Chains A and B, each alone.
Chain A
Amino acid sequence: MRPFKFTRAVQPAEAISSVSANSGARFVAGGTNLVDLMKEGVENPTELVDISRLALTQIRSTSSGLSVGSMARNTVTANHPLVRRDYPLLTKAILAGGCIGTDPQHGDKRRESAAANTMLVFLRYLDAVQQTLTRFRLRGNGRRKPYARNFWLVG
């Protein structure tokens, strides 16, 4: 891993100004994706700005839908009463989220991911929709056998 300067942001504005002042700077939240990529040399930031403590974790319903703070952790979002009640498929999508050989349930990669990773969540959402449809088609009654995509890893 290349050396980098580490700073912790207290206010969103401060985080934005630090990152915009340095083209080699990156935000780090949970860090579980970025640190992994940095170990492999895929990402080589010269500065990391820790935004994991910014108070952007609120989840609330709005007139047009749901607002999820960009620092809301995936498991928190998936288990939020509002999300579970009104957006169960989003819950399902996040819980299905272990993409690259990792597992969503494990206290880790995706658990710590922030919702800012919107695109990934969206893809998982589509994936879950597809899986659900497939399941309905295959089994007719929507009742399913417990199933996890990563079981091939653990046998």
Chain B
Amino acid sequence: MTKDSEVADPNVDPELQMTADEEKLLDELGIFGESRRKFLGQVAAAGLTAVAFQVLAEQKALAFSEFDALQPAGLLENSLKVGFKVNGAAKSVEIDSRMTLLDTLREKLGLTGSKKGCDHGQCGACTVMVDGQRVLSCLTLAAQCEGRDVTTIEGLAKGGELHPMQASFVKHDGFQCGFCTPGQICSAVAMMQEAKSGELSYVSENIRPLAKPLALSDDEIRERMSGNLCRCGAYPNIVAAIREVHTGRATDHMGMNDMEGSNAAV
């Protein structure tokens, strides 16, 4: 390694100074002195521009729903016009027959609260309510929703007030990353209704008596919510949140103030 003290600039940190062979290399490349600084500046600017372009591209991608909604009809293969109610408002969309309800909500109507997890009906992240029943929007063709009443997570809060289930999830920390949460909450809201009307689950103790409303034990809640996966593992808190709404009594994640866990149905 050549010592290059003769070219050292006293104003620059010696650690950052180039060795003579590095200078020589840059000379050979025709990059030195002022032009080198300019070159470095250009590189930096180019880098920033690339970043800026990426940011713009992402913004454009996020704004896609609006662009797409304005696209003229007739560009789609097997296009269909479907009208249904979403969160109380009548909507009409022009879609490809292949479009699922989930894609229609997210990409045509800009309702990105419902999440695409597995896209195969296994994770429950896309759960919405159609005519009050929970369905997996990733496996529901939008074309089949003609005239239906769809409720998504965006439609639960009323007049700036969270839905009791949403408030309970917040209170009990029923999530970590939050990706599964819209599906969990929609599922839980519909599930409350199922319990109210006396619908059974696989762990229901008694099949014959037509009791309603049903008082759900924690095991019942877990079974009825088992189509909604949470990879963060917030299950104890999710169950606590649902239990509190279900019983109307404050509880904690240990179920302490509740009906003593799973044997409540005895």
In the complex, A32→B41 CA distance in Å? 57
Q: Chain B residues near A52 (CB, 8 Å)? A: 144
Does A79 lie within 8 Å of B98, measured CB to CB? Answer: no
Least Cβ–Cβ distance between B230 and chain A, in angstroms: 8
Interface size class of B (residues with CB under 8 A): 35 or more
Q: Chain A residues near B122 (CB, 8 Å)? A: 101-102
Asked if A137 lies at the interface with its beta carbon under 8 angstroms from chain B, I say: no
Least Cβ–Cβ distance between A29 and chain B, in angstroms: 9
Contact with A along B36-77 (1 / 0, CB 8 A): 000000000000000000000000000000000000000001
Q: Chain B residues near A79 (CB, 8 Å)? A: 198-200
The answer to whether residues A154 and B97 also contact, given A52-B144, A107-B136 and a CB cut-off of 8 A, is no
Asked if A91 lies at the interface with its beta carbon under 8 angstroms from chain B, I say: yes
Of B97, B139, B140, which contacts A48 at CB under 8 A?
B97
In the complex, A36→B97 CA distance in Å? 15
Contact with A along B170-206 (1 / 0, CB 8 A): 0000000000000000010011000000111111100
Of B127, B143, B199, which contacts A50 at CB under 8 A?
B143
Does B141 lie within 8 Å of A39, measured CB to CB? Answer: no
Q: Chain A residues near B25 (CB, 8 Å)? A: none
Main secondary structure of the interface of A (DSSP, over half): mixed
Within 8 A of B (CB), among A60-113: 75, 78-79, 81, 84-85, 88, 91-92, 95-96, 98, 101-109, 111-112
Of B78, B200, B203, which contacts A146 at CB under 8 A?
B203
Main secondary structure of the interface of B (DSSP, over half): loop
Asked if B119 lies at the interface with its beta carbon under 8 angstroms from chain A, I say: yes
In the complex, A6→B77 CA distance in Å? 11
Q: Chain B residues near A55 (CB, 8 Å)? A: none
Least Cβ–Cβ distance between A134 and chain B, in angstroms: 15
Does A108 lie within 8 Å of B97, measured CB to CB? Answer: no
Asked if B235 lies at the interface with its beta carbon under 8 angstroms from chain A, I say: yes
Q: Chain B residues near A150 (CB, 8 Å)? A: 226
Asked if B210 lies at the interface with its beta carbon under 8 angstroms from chain A, I say: yes
Least Cβ–Cβ distance between B129 and chain A, in angstroms: 8
Asked if B146 lies at the interface with its beta carbon under 8 angstroms from chain A, I say: yes
Of A28, A148, A155, which contacts B144 at CB under 8 A?
A28
Asked if B245 lies at the interface with its beta carbon under 8 angstroms from chain A, I say: no
Within 8 A of A (CB), among B130-166: 133-136, 139-141, 143-144, 146
The answer to whether residues A107 and B80 also contact, given A28-B141, A79-B198, A91-B200 and a CB cut-off of 8 A, is no
Closest 10 CB pairs of A and B: A106-B227, A107-B134, A146-B203, A6-B97, A103-B227, A146-B219, A108-B136, A88-B207, A32-B139, A95-B202
Which B residues are within 8 Å of any A CB, using their own CB? 77-78, 80, 96-98, 100, 119-122, 124, 127, 129, 133-136, 139-141, 143-144, 146, 187, 190-191, 198-204, 207-208, 210, 217, 219-220, 222-230, 233, 235, 262
